Structure 1
């Protein structure tokens, strides 16, 4: 498990139609502030402000196809060469990060192969790296630095 210390939030939260909304600077619009969205915005903030991932290379709710199904990845990080490099699946804080969440993100990987998969519920974060010719997944102890080149 990876311990993250989120930077102080500087979110713009408003109320509209009886719901709290948060401004998502990546999608450039207000979205409903659900518990999962709170985790996603904090994780995005961490990637950009703490890990120095380039904000323009992060895609939010990227649609992909799994056979006939359409699914959405919470976060896709692209390399500078515009190659998918990491998929992040966010869950609300009360959701345990067990096999169902791992299986979900591995299915996303089947449609969009990447070298890194991350699952987080804000309290707990796990990161796997695809290693070797056999395509084995290995848990890593920290999030990877953003790559200077694809890979």
Structure 2
């Protein structure tokens, strides 16, 4: 698989009947390795290494958008179980565009996470959502839930 603009992480790969599978630590199963799955799993590993709790991650959770069943790639929850960050993952060959943002924004109309992001493994964009005036602001870094910031502070204190 293609090198990504993400920290290198160890993932479990298996070959079966001429196909490659990757282990998803959240769903606890092997999945067919596609370019999009490669991005999703590598991005997930980065988030976990930053202190995101496995128990507060949803992958490909179902939702309805305009009465059509869709799946959110990565959804990070805060400690209270509220949606915090919704991330749409694309294959590295897919150019991130306004259409990609429209897709994640449409999903977020249902989910109502205060932050959204898109990645193709090479580029990553994150926004803070202002629901009151229907606007968004681009962020310079990945927004993290308070419990991760607390985790980082506690590890620096040691």
TM-score by shorter chain over 0.5: yes
Which runs of 5 or more residues in structure 2 are unaligned? 149-158
Q: Which moved more, 1:117-126 or 1:6-15?
A: 6-15
- Alignment partner of 1:6 is 2:6: yes
Shift of residue 124, structure 1, vs aligned partner: 0.2
- Higher RCO (CA 8 Å, separation ≥ 6 residues): 1
Shift of residue 135, structure 1, vs aligned partner: 2.9
2: CA distance between counterparts of 1:31 and 1:10? 16
Give the corresponding residue for 1:60: 59
**CA offsets per residue over residues 73-102 of structure 1, 9 Å max, x none?**
000111100011110000011111101101
Contact 1:52 1:146 in 2 (8 A): no
Give the corresponding residue for 1:110: 109
Give the corresponding residue for 2:44: 44
Q: What secondary structure sits across from 2:147 in the alignment?
A: coil
Contact 2:23 2:31 in 1 (8 A): yes
Shift of residue 132, structure 1, vs aligned partner: 6.7
Q: Which moved more, 1:9-18 or 1:99-108?
A: 9-18
TM-score, normalised with respect to structure 2: 0.86
Aligned residues: 145
Higher normalized helix content (fraction of residues): 2
Contact 1:13 1:20 in 2 (8 A): yes
Matches within 5 A, 1:63-82: 63-82=62-81
Contact 2:5 2:122 in 1 (8 A): no
Distance of aligned partners of 1:132 and 1:108 in 2 relative to their CA distance in 1, 3 Å threshold: closer
TM-score, normalised with respect to structure 1: 0.90
Give the corresponding residue for 1:17: 17
Contact 2:6 2:122 in 1 (8 A): no
Which runs of 5 or more residues in structure 1 are unaligned? none
Contact 1:115 1:129 in 2 (8 A): yes
Shift of residue 9, structure 1, vs aligned partner: 2.0
Contact 1:75 1:89 in 2 (8 A): yes
Contact 2:5 2:123 in 1 (8 A): no
Give the corresponding residue for 2:87: 88
